[in-house]
Structure 1
Amino acid sequence: MRPLQRWLPTLDDGPNPLIRQVQVALAAVRAGVTVAVDLELDGFDTHVDHDAEHVPLLAQLLAAVEFAGEEAERQGVADDLVIVVGSEFGRTPGYNGLRGKDHGPVTSVLALGKGIAGGRVVGATTERHAALPVDPTTLAVREDGVRIEPKHIHQELRGLAGIAEVCEALYPLGVGDGEDLRLLGGRGEAAARALA
């Protein structure tokens, strides 16, 4: 515990709980306690008054992502920082009778950091949020393509970290032949270093 205390700053006491989580996470990385963390912001399961609930939550989330990048720079760990924001389910495109949105089968993931090609959107849905398959090579929508699933994202993150082969042997994802989707824009330098 002492190594963590060495790097732990005075924790932010503002209204955004993610800021404090980021501070502890980066201190744990600097202390060598961990290489990965899972942060959480509750409240997005909005079956009632969706818009009024989501807007402030999204503001907190984006502020924390920005803070994480800035704080990682200050802490000297920005080159090793990869941020992945996601949810286990999405929201329906229409509102229910309580101005809320119910669970939808398609969600999105925001990924940024070293080794991730930015400034692009991968995947698409119909107007009613049905997932459209993509071409495994070009990632363009293709009727007979592959539907992006969490296993594809996990495979990419494992590749980015340079641990794909070890993890696949222990915890297979079940990604089929021809489904190696380069969702993050390549496997990045971390994978190259790990294979060297």
Structure 2
Amino acid sequence: MNRRDFLKLLGYSGLASTLPSFNAAQANATPPLHTGKVLLTIHLGGGWDHSSFADPRQNVLINKWAATQPAGGVGNLRFAPLGENAAFFNKYYSYIMAVNGIVMFTNGHDVAARTRHTGSLVEGLPSTNELYAAAVGANLPMPFVRQGGFEGSVGIMPFTALPDESLLRTLANPNFDRGTKTYYSNAHIDLVHKYASQRLTKLQNQPDNLPRWQRKLEELQRARQGSVAMEALATALPTSLDTLDLTGARRNGIRELHMFLVLAAAGLTATGSFGTGGWDSHGNHDANHINTLTDLTRLLDYTWTKANSMGLGDRLIVHVTSDVGRTPSYNSTNGKDHWSLGGDIIMAKNAPWANRIVGISGANHEQIKINPNTLQRDNTNGIYLQTKHLHRALRELLGIQNHPLAQRYDLKAEALPLFNPAVASGITV
């Protein structure tokens, strides 16, 4: 593959635009690889019903299943007996923190998606994915990859679309011809790289370089630095990507999640955003949610099982969120409409803050104030749990709360001990 073709590939994958600038002194530097926490956000497009998952009600007006089945419970959590929820919670309750009763002050899809990903109803703040990528991954080839979910960006670290698999394999090792043989011997490739690097350094150090020419040289340097980083991908990339879930069924999203985990294990990315649809259940709510919940729990089960097998489980944090919530009551077509109250889950392996419920929604999924210190119901001195509180806490969990970019994009939110294992809201209904 010649240099022009490789630069084109970098452009198609987004690498050329997201790699940081380099100078001649960095020509032979070893590219940084991410070894810290990996944030995976899964967006449930259309608005999921948390009473059908981690905040159930034993009330037939809210949950029709309550007429014949009790809500399930394991550890300190409760769950709705729909889909494969029981198997999922029994397997992963020690990973899960349920965040209930999030007040969003909107029931519109777009604005709700914004606030649930950024902590703000108005434009101008980055998603936590974008902020985390900019804070810890600015020098990575693909700091923030996206398959779906929230699209907004403030420009501090635009996402890279998840690459096509064939393109990814070419990037991992451009010297391979369809994975069966090499174009050139490794010794010859090393020699070419050595002299190409020396030549580029000499060109960059010319005192009479015009600004436009200097920028082009820097683009070439970024591409070469990215190609070196891709060698880590060649080691981590398996001969084939998974397409089946753990039951052996072909499932959309498995291949893409496997690709993300490979990129994360190789140290090439710090965060990813994924999305599933079908949650806007204005009609036939229970049947629709059974299907989407089964899809979600199987994707999560695959993600954690694969991450653990790859040695990535202890670094992974999974945030499952949505846009609008769903009304506590059913409409005339057995559906549920938009609601401005919802819930998320945060998952991590061996987390002391897991197996907890934080936040409270009332008997009919109404807004409830909680004490900012104890997280217990407090109608006098309490505050409403909002997305800004959750995202401030996520910034702290990720270790970026004091980063200059986090200070620039201040959420102006009270500090709540959402990840403090010593306090919790607990089961309140």
Q: Which bracket does the TM-score occupy, shorter chain normalised?
A: 0.7 to 0.9
Q: Residue 334 of structure 2 corresponds to which residue in structure 1?
A: 99
Alignment check: 8 A CA contact 1:94 1:101 kept: yes
Structure 2 residue identity aligned to 1:81? L
**What SS is found at the alignment partner of 1:17?**
coil
Tell me, yes or no, if structure 1 residue 165 matches structure 2 residue 395: no
Q: Residue 36 of structure 1 corresponds to which residue in structure 2?
A: 271
- With over 3 angstroms needed to count, the CA separation of the structure-2 counterparts of 1:29 and 1:55, relative to structure 1, is same
CA apart distance, 1:11:
3.0
Question: How far apart in 1 are the matches of 2:388 and 2:260?
Answer: 25
Question: How far apart in 1 are the matches of 2:339 and 2:284?
Answer: 16
Structure 1 residue identity aligned to 2:389? H
- With over 3 angstroms needed to count, the CA separation of the structure-2 counterparts of 1:161 and 1:116, relative to structure 1, is farther
Q: Residue 191 of structure 1 corresponds to which residue in structure 2?
A: none
CA apart distance, 1:98:
1.5
Question: How far apart in 1 are the matches of 2:390 and 2:352?
Answer: 12
Q: Residue 12 of structure 1 corresponds to which residue in structure 2?
A: 243
Structure 2 residue identity aligned to 1:154? H
Alignment check: 8 A CA contact 2:241 2:259 kept: no
Q: TM-score, normalised by structure 2?
A: 0.41
Partner residue of 1:145 out of 378, 382, 387: 382
**What SS is found at the alignment partner of 2:407?**
helix
Choose 1 or 2 for highest CA Rg.
Answer: 2
**What SS is found at the alignment partner of 1:48?**
coil
Matched-pair identity in %? 30
Query: What is the 5 A alignment of 1:1-196?
Result: 1-2=171-172, 3=230, 4=233, 6-7=236-237, 9-12=240-243, 14-114=249-349, 115=351, 117-143=353-379, 144-166=381-403, 167-175=405-413, 179-185=414-420
CA apart distance, 1:171:
1.3
Alignment check: 8 A CA contact 1:7 1:30 kept: no
Question: How far apart in 1 are the matches of 2:252 and 2:377?
Answer: 38
- With over 3 angstroms needed to count, the CA separation of the structure-2 counterparts of 1:81 and 1:116, relative to structure 1, is farther
Structure 1 residue identity aligned to 2:369? P
Question: How far apart in 1 are the matches of 2:264 and 2:340?
Answer: 34
Question: How far apart in 2 are the matches of 1:17 and 1:116?
Answer: 32
Question: How far apart in 2 are the matches of 1:98 and 1:113?
Answer: 38
Structure 1 spans left out of the alignment, 5+ residues: 187-196
Question: How far apart in 1 are the matches of 2:373 and 2:322?
Answer: 26
- After TM superposition, the structure 1 stretch with the greater mean CA deviation from structure 2, 164-173 or 133-142, is 164-173
- After TM superposition, the structure 1 stretch with the greater mean CA deviation from structure 2, 9-18 or 117-126, is 9-18
Question: How far apart in 2 are the matches of 1:56 and 1:184?
Answer: 31
**What SS is found at the alignment partner of 1:37?**
strand
Question: How far apart in 2 are the matches of 1:7 and 1:131?
Answer: 47
CA apart distance, 1:21:
2.8
Question: How far apart in 2 are the matches of 1:121 and 1:40?
Answer: 24
CA apart distance, 1:15:
4.0
CA apart distance, 1:116:
5.3
- After TM superposition, the structure 1 stretch with the greater mean CA deviation from structure 2, 110-119 or 38-47, is 110-119
Structure 2 spans left out of the alignment, 5+ residues: 1-170, 173-229, 422-429
Alignment check: 8 A CA contact 2:361 2:367 kept: yes
CA apart distance, 1:99:
1.1
Structure 2 residue identity aligned to 1:182? P
Structure 1 residue identity aligned to 2:399? G
**What SS is found at the alignment partner of 1:46?**
coil
Q: More strand per residue: 1 or 2?
A: 2
Residues 120-156 of structure 1 show CA distances to partners (whole Å, capped at 9, x for unaligned) of 2111112332121111111111113111111111111
> Which of structures 1 and 2 has the larger relative contact order (alpha carbons within 8 angstroms, sep 6+)?
2
CA apart distance, 1:29:
0.6
Alignment check: 8 A CA contact 2:241 2:255 kept: no
Report the number of matched residues.
183
CA apart distance, 1:38:
1.1
**What SS is found at the alignment partner of 1:62?**
helix
Structure 2 residue identity aligned to 1:67? Y
Q: Residue 82 of structure 2 corresponds to which residue in structure 1?
A: none
Structure 1 residue identity aligned to 2:384? R
Residues 13-48 of structure 1 show CA distances to partners (whole Å, capped at 9, x for unaligned) of 544323223212101212322111111111101111
Structure 2 residue identity aligned to 1:32? G
Structure 2 residue identity aligned to 1:17? N
